Amino acid sequence: MRFLITAGPTREPLDPVRYLTNRSSGKMGYALAEAAQAAGHEVVLISGPVHLPAPDGVAMVRVEAAREMFEAVQSRIASAEVAIFSAAVADYRPVVRAEQKIKKDAATLILELERTEDILGSARLAFGFKGYLVGFAAETEKLIEHAQDKLARKGCDLVIANDVSQPGIGFDSAENAVTLCLPGGRTQALPQQSKTALARELITFITRHVP
């Protein structure tokens, strides 16, 4: 099968030397790309800036800002049968990217931010994606409720929910524990384990559920 996977954070520039970003390491997305490739699938990995080597046998597309990730997905998703959105895309970017480095003239500085493109939310309607769609939900409260809501709103077949308020799992950790949220309100918990082991389990689950 052909997989398209997004991974890592995005960087939203403020001026030539600064950007807004988040703590995503890209480990979960890269582990998924490796696991899918090892299971014999074709993988395109669209990655924000991370400190990880490109997995063997995977077609890499490197991007920085949310807008570039959006365009990279838009131009490649039609040929995928499974799309997994594990990137921690910035939800907002500075309205203005200053041409020159911003100087510390004022005592306070107010940044005006605007929404970035919702890539997962564009998959079904805007991109017309008909394949198996997987989103992630990183939440600090009401994990299952928020994940089920995301599943329905964005037309996903599966949302992988993780509680990022728990120490030692999720963002920038080697391990993760997740709950799979499926249509019809069904859930399945996968216990804490390395992201590598979890990725193998997730790829097995996904390939069994693709119609």
> Quick check: 129 binds ligand CTP (CB under 6 A)?
no
Q: Which residues of 168-178 are buried (b: 16+ CB within 10 A; e: fewer)?
A: ebbbebeebbb
Q: Of 63 and 119, which CB lies nearer to ligand CTP in the complex structure? A: 119
Is 22 a residue of the active site? Answer: yes
- Does 136 participate in binding ligand CTP (rule CB under 6 A)? yes
Binding of ligand CTP by 3 (CB under 6 A)? no
Helix, strand, coil share (%) of the chain residues, nearest 5:
30, 30, 40
Catalytic residue among 1, 20, 22, 175: 22
**192 within 8 A of 201, measured Cβ to Cβ:** no
Q: Are strands 132-139 and 158-163 parallel, antiparallel or unpaired?
A: parallel
Which residue is at the shortest CB distance from ligand CTP?
119
50: left (phi over 0), alpha (psi -120 to 50) or beta: beta
What CA–CA distance (Å, rounded) separates 10 from 162? 19
Provide the mask over 66-95, with x wherever binding to ligand CTP is found by CB under 6 A and - wherever it is not: x------------------x-x-x-x----
Nearer to ligand CTP, 13 or 102 (CB): 13
Measured in residues, the chain has a length of 211
The nearest distance, CB 36 to ligand CTP, in angstroms, is: 16
Compute the least distance from the CB of residue 75 to ligand CTP, in Å.
15
Give catalytic residues, as residue numbers: 22
Contact residues toward ligand CTP (CB under 6 A) are: 6, 66, 85, 87, 89, 91, 116-120, 135-137, 150
